Structure formats: structure tokens, C-alpha cells
Structure 1
């Protein structure tokens, strides 16, 4: 067993921090049965005033080479003993501790502040030197950042530049911490920036990024755009330069006429734009789009502003989001993952879900229940975020209203 990758998790809802720490440490150590290489801790914001006490309590009970984590408005972990189930605890006291035995995996924990980041014109080596991990090691990353960390998009762009092909998952905390901070990294509590861990070697991380939307209508190509404003679009099937060009508002009004009454009502407050991330994929599917907010409409010009830059030639499609769409989206992606990977289990999994999901959709344990239906054996832990980090295509993005799963297993030799 000592040479086998193993993840375990324990979740406590005890109101006393000391009692919660004792419970998660005792249960996780009993399950693991050998020294851990990595610890991941997620603690609910109801404990915010006691965040400075968490790491000293854990260090008294555990000897961990690497321990990272954060606070969150909701906490995900495994409840029950001996039969465990995934629980999403929202708005209540909770502490989740994951311990992992990772033979053949090299771990490197780090904290970065905005002042540390290289200029975006810097070479990849500058980012690798900052993080402290050689790109040749092909690491994967778990990242947790404060919501006021304004350089998060620069960081993700820099990490993609320095570590192309590396998986990066995580999320922004809810900002709790009573001025003390809520980012934990190897015995220290941080108030700003980002904490993370790089994992390289005998570990594969696969992702499911469920943005909670379903496409409506047909795909379009951007004919004319300026920064984040779409000025002219045309149906994807139309020939370049044809008379089928229209303003986005005209296309949207025509699309709305073909929707059901229920979807037209939903479009009044839950309409989004999906930007296709592949230039070449002929048949676009759910998961192929980066979902962005529709920020505003110019009724006179018919232009539409969205929450990202646009450029001529990009493919876009309008989307709707609600609880049913979110469930369908996640289930579609889980089925596809299972069919493509052939896997129904993993060593461990991480879940980073938007604060607006879960009970916000009227159902507790909303995403984790679906996840367990397809990945039947894997301890899951994580937290509810103010923004979720995960890849779409080969690029890492900061999302909203999304659930990101990082699924970990040993490499198959």
C-alpha cells in the first residue's frame, strides 16, 4: 500500500474548531494508514475569526511536508464513517481535510503576490523562476486566490505561457478572514495574492469544466468587432462577404422569436455568449465554448458588448443558464468524460464550484451528486468560489457560475 497513490478525505461539521480538527485528523489518518505527502484543507467562513488558529492546531496533530488550503463560503468533503458520501456544506460550520500519499510525485507549494508577477512581455523563464518549478517537469497546478487579487488573469496567462499543456484548477475565495487572511500555505496564513501547489511526476490530472449553460440557435462568426464589442456577425454557414451579415442585436431578436415562452423569459436575465475555443473543430458541442457575460446592447447601432475581447473570425453562440441547463451541461460532460477515458473511479478529485450553484439552484449537493453517479469511487474535496479556475480548450480561464473538477490518478505505465 505504501507504493500506491491514495487520497482520503474527512469532513467535520462540529462547531468547535478544536473538535473539528480532531475529527478530520483522526478519520483521515485512520483511512490513509501511512504518512501523507500532501494535505489540502478547506474551512468555512463561519470559522473566519479563528483562521489564525487552524494551522497551529493542524501542525500539532500532523506532520505534513506540504499543506495548502483556504476558507470558503461553502465546503465540500466526505461525510460519514465507514460509508462515506460527498457533502456540500453551505453557510454552516465545516472543515474538510484531504490527505494524499503520492509516491513518485514531486510537490512544490508557493505563495505569490501581485507585486511578484513578471510583466506580460517577460519570457516564460521569468514565470518558471517565480513559481520555482522547471517546465520540463510537466507540473499540474492547484490554485487558490483572494477575490481582490486583480492580477489573476495575468497569472493564468503567464502560467499558460510558461507551462503549456499543464492543467491549472482552483478558485477565488469568498474574501472572509476578518482581516487575518484566508489563504494557507505550509504553516503561514496569507491575506493577499495566491497560494498553490505544483504536482509533477507520477500524477495525471483531468478536468471537467461545467459552465452551466446550453446553446440556443445557431453558431455565428464575428464579422466586425472592437475590443469587447461585437458589431457585425453572420451565420457560420454563410459565405464570407455575403449579404447575411447582421448586427448582433438583429440576430438575437430573430433568435428570440423562435424560442419557447419559457426560454424567452429566461433570456431576460440569464442570456450569455459562448466563444468557441477551437478554430478548426467542425461540429461544436457543449464544453467547446468559453461562456462570457452579455454586458450591454447599443439599440441604435445593434452592437453587443460581452465580458471578453472579440475578433473577426471567431465563432460565437448565444447560451441560456438555469438549474436545468446546469444539470444537463454537467451530465453531458461527465458522460463524455467516462466514454472517452473509460474510467469510473480515480485516486481523488477536487471540486471548485460557484457560490451561485448548489443550494442556489434549489438542491443541496447539486453537482457532487451528479459527479458521484459517473465517478463512483474517489474522495472529493473543495470549496465554493467567487470565481473558478479551469481550462477550456488549451487555455486556462477564470469563470463564473461554473463547477470545475480536477480528477487525479497515477500515470499508467
Structure 2
């Protein structure tokens, strides 16, 4: 198993493709490249097929998947909001790969018929999925829920294409086919282990509450009282410096992932936005479905917390396993220099902890990654997939 990553900021498509290939060849990849994942800044959308075709031809790649993005990640850099492309090339002996596209007119059947969903994505000895979706035509939450239910042992990583403002602008490419809607993906089976690191970059504020009344995504009661009143009381009890920080940053809400855990801490919550307040009722509207009985806690996102959490998670991963052969990174388009003072934060920290591991990815408009035993779509996260050969007992 061998990986190579590459990054180019050349705007001419032919020279850009040549530059990417040159970097891959310099890393002494074997003659057989099984898969290339190509990430292209949205400004280069009109020529994505030309770039992908040239890269695939010159690397003799069996498969190539490509997606447009606002910003791309490669080797040790994050190139934000300007023409660039990155890739991760994979040589995967004894690994089976299945690349697929889900079209708009397939969703209704696939998401209501488990048999049809299984038939579309079934793969013997399935290990993991990588998915890239068009945010205008991909029902991501339902898709990820279906993957969790039907393929519980094959987690999902990836993200929504970014850098687009309306339906039809996205470009999703599999080999020679270019799509402007739907979802593309690849599944892995055989001699591969894919581990995941999902850093939500938030710290909890105050104490937990129990939802006592809710409908859909509206919370009407926390601990039997108005959510607005309960949250205001909790915030007023915090030190003044903390209150000032929260006032200057968006307050988020986390719902407990595993209610049975009891003692909750950082990382035990799925973070969602607070979309609004219904002042007359004292209720709050959040970016997720919620029900009575669930545990929630307010959170705040800051650069220091995001840095420390990601560092700890990556260091923990290195304690448990060997250095990965390669890695994918899907970072929220609200991270990068929009969150951190210095550029290249997430990929730089990954290289610092993981070593000289080939890495590529993009800034997504919603990142996919497992938390616990379920797949979720996140916001403001850094979501990693780390590739290694499977343990002998598993392959």
C-alpha cells in the first residue's frame, strides 16, 4: 500500500495537471495507481474534466474521482479561495474499489427501500465509504443515516462540494463521466483499514440540560422551563470574561451522542447551530431534529479549543496504531484563516503529529464523519480518514 499527494497553484489546466503528475512520480509510486481523488478549486470548474483526464492518463490510474471546492488541501498547505488543485493517489494491493454515482431520480427509491439501497452500494467485506455530494441535490442526513443503518461496519467520510452558489454549478467526476448533481462515492473492501478522526473544535459552556418538550427542530422546554430563560440564567452565572467571549462568538448547542454515558465532556456531543429564538414562546430553533429526553449543552467554538482537540485526537490515533500510509482531510470552509490566525492550520498540525504522510482534501460545505457508531454531517469540523493495511486477522 502506497500513497502520494500533490498540490498545484498553476491556473493553466495542462500545466497544472503536469505539475501534479510530476509530484506524484517524484514520490516513486508503483506503476499501478488504483485510485486518484482530485480536488479542484471551483474557479477551474470549466476545465475539471480536462485536468482529470490528463492526470488519469499520465498516472495510468484505474479510477479517478474529482470534485469542485472553494479551497483545496494538499501535502502541507491549504490553498484558500483561489485557483489550485490537489490530489491523493493510491496504490492498493488486495483492495477492491467500487466507484458509483447516485443520480437525482434515484434518491426516493434508495432512501425508502433498504433492498435497493443495499443493492446499489453492497460490496463484500466492505470497509469504508468516501462520499462527495452536491449540496443542492443530495439529502445528506438521510443518506448518512441509511449508510449507518444498512452498513454499520463501514463508516463514511467526505463532504459536500463547496464554492458554488446555485444548483448545476457543481462538478462531480468519475473516470470519464462528469455530473452536475447528485452524489459520487467510492467504497473500499479487502486489505485496508480506514480509521477516522473527527474534531468538532468546540468546548462546552456551563452545564447540561434535559429537553422536556420539543417538536422537530424546536426546543420548547429545558428542564421544564423556557430554554431562553434557562440559557440566560446559566450564562449570567459565568465569569465576565467568559460572557464577553460568548457574546462575541456564536453560541452553539450540542446533543449527547450516547445518552447512556452519563458523565459528559468535550467530544460527547454532536454540535449544531442555534438558528433562532422565538421570543414570545421563549423557545429556540436548532439545526437538527430533537426530542424530549435528550441531553443538551451549550457550546462555543474558538481557535484554541479547536487546535487542542484536534492535536489530542491525532496524538491518540498515533498511540493506537502505526503511521498511516495516507490521509484525507475534509475541513469546514469556516476553518482555515477564517478561524485561525495562521494559514495551513489543520494540515500543518496533521503533518506535525502524523509525520510526512501524504495528505489531500478540500474545504467542504458540510463534512461527513462518524461519531460513535453513526455517520453525521458536521459543520466547522476537521474530518480525517487514515489509511493503513488491514490487520492480518481481518484481511
TM-score of the alignment, normalized to the shorter chain, above 0.5: yes
Please report how far the alpha carbon of residue 120 of structure 1 lies from its aligned counterpart in structure 2 after TM superposition. Answer: 6.9
Which residue of the partner structure matches residue 179 of structure 2? 190
Closer/same/farther in 2, CA of residues 38 and 306 from structure 1, 3 Å limit:
same
1:260-283 Cα deviation digits (max 9, x unpaired): 334323433410000111021132
Which residue of the partner structure matches residue 354 of structure 2? 375
Which residue of the partner structure matches residue 194 of structure 2? 205
Aligned counterpart for 1:42 among listed residues 39, 44, 52: 39
Closer/same/farther in 2, CA of residues 258 and 336 from structure 1, 3 Å limit:
farther
Aligned counterpart for 2:217 among listed residues 221, 228, 233: 228
2:294 matches 1:314: yes
1:201-257 Cα deviation digits (max 9, x unpaired): 1111111111221101112221222221222223xxxxxxxxxx4322222112211
Aligned counterpart for 2:30 among listed residues 22, 27, 33: 33
2:272 matches 1:292: yes
Please report how far the alpha carbon of residue 22 of structure 1 lies from its aligned counterpart in structure 2 after TM superposition. Answer: 0.8
Deviation beyond 6 Å, 4+ runs, structure 1: none
Aligned counterpart for 1:21 among listed residues 6, 17, 37: 17
Please report how far the alpha carbon of residue 198 of structure 1 lies from its aligned counterpart in structure 2 after TM superposition. Answer: 0.4
Q: Which moved more, 1:257-266 or 1:287-296?
A: 257-266
Please report how far the alpha carbon of residue 342 of structure 1 lies from its aligned counterpart in structure 2 after TM superposition. Answer: 4.4
Which residue of the partner structure matches residue 160 of structure 2? 172
1:71-96 Cα deviation digits (max 9, x unpaired): 11111112xxxxxxx11111222221
Please report how far the alpha carbon of residue 123 of structure 1 lies from its aligned counterpart in structure 2 after TM superposition. Answer: 4.3
Cα distance in 1 for residues equivalent to 2:226 and 2:18: 61
CA contact (8 A) 2:111 2:142 kept: no
Which structure 2 segments of 5+ residues have no match?
Answer: none
CA contact (8 A) 1:36 1:101 kept: yes
Cα distance in 1 for residues equivalent to 2:42 and 2:218: 38
Which structure 1 segments of 5+ residues have no match?
Answer: 79-85, 235-244
Alignment length (residue pairs): 388
Matches within 5 A, 1:157-168: 157-168=145-156
Q: RMSD value over aligned CA atoms?
A: 2.1
Aligned counterpart for 1:68 among listed residues 65, 70, 76: 65
- 3-state SS of paired residue (1:280): helix
Closer/same/farther in 2, CA of residues 44 and 289 from structure 1, 3 Å limit:
same
Aligned counterpart for 2:250 among listed residues 256, 267, 270: 270
- 3-state SS of paired residue (2:144): helix
2:325 matches 1:347: yes
Which residue of the partner structure matches residue 237 of structure 1? none
1:294-339 Cα deviation digits (max 9, x unpaired): 1222334322221111112211110001222322332232244344
